[in-house]
A and B are shown apart, each in its own frame.
Chain A
Amino acid sequence: MSPADLIARVPLGFLLPGVQARVDALDDKIDPTQREQLVAYGLAPNRPLVVLQQRPMTLVMIDEVELALEDSVARHVWVTWR
Chain B
Amino acid sequence: MDVFSSLMDGFATALTPMNFLYAVIGVVLGTAVGVLPGLGPAMTVALLLPVTYALEPTSAFIMFAGIYYGGMYGGSTTSILLNTPGESSSVVTAIEGNKMAKAGRAAQALATAAIGSFVAGTIGTTLLAVCAPIVVQFAVSLGSPSYFAIMVLALLAVTAVLGSSRLRGFASLGLGLAIGLVGMDSVTGQQRLTFGMPLLADGLDIVVVAVAIFAVGEALWVAAHLRRTPMNIIPVGQPWMGKDDWKRSWKPWLRGTAFGFPFGALPAGGAEIPTFLSYVTEKRLSKHPEEFGHGAIEGVAGPEAANNAAAAGTLTPMLALGLPTNATAAVMLAAFTSYGIQPGPQLFASEGPLVWALIASLFIGNFLLLIINLPLAPVWAKLLQLPRPYLYAGILFFATLGAYSVNLQAFDLVILLVLGALGFMMRRFGLPVLPLILGVILGPRLEGQLRKTLQLSAGNPAGLWSEAIAVGIWVIVAIILLWPLLLKLIRRNRPARSSLLPATSGATEPREVSGSVSHASHRADGSSGDGHSDGDGDG
Instruction: State yes or no: do A and B come from one complex.
Output: no
A residues with CB within 8 A of B:
none
